[in-house]
Amino acid sequence: MQRTTQKERKENAKTFIEILKKKGKNAIVIEKTYNDSNNVTMVKFITCNNLGKKMVIAESPFGMAFCMIEFIENIGYNGVQKDFFEPEFKEWFKKEIGYTIDYFDDLVMVLSCN
């Protein structure tokens, strides 16, 4: 999948949230690509729109935590964020962002409406 612009990712993230609100639950596929030459792990959050077309909603060459930062900003949150790897992140996400992380592993994350 080719890189998407920041503007496209922001629009895609808003579409993802609209679908999440309608369905009550939605999944994000986590794609990680490691590059040995520059020691970088590119992370992309990928989901599908209503027509089944793949859309990138966030990406970062700096790993999972920075990808999550971009996703949260893309859906309109402008406050101070907790680090994704902090133990209280899920509770913070539910309280501040308004969605619950029902499931997470290295390949997928499932969000639901509170």
From first to last of its 114 residues, the chain has per-residue pLDDT tens of 567 899 999 999 999 999 999 999 999 999 999 887 777 789 999 998 777 889 999 999 998 999 999 999 999 999 999 999 999 999 999 999 999 999 999 899 999 997
pLDDT, residue 58, reads: 97
Model's pTM, two decimal places?
Answer: 0.90
CA angle 76, 80, 86 (to 5 degrees): 110
- Burial of residue 9 (number of CB atoms within 10 Å: 0-12, 13-18, 19+): buried
Residue 1's pLDDT is what?
Answer: 56
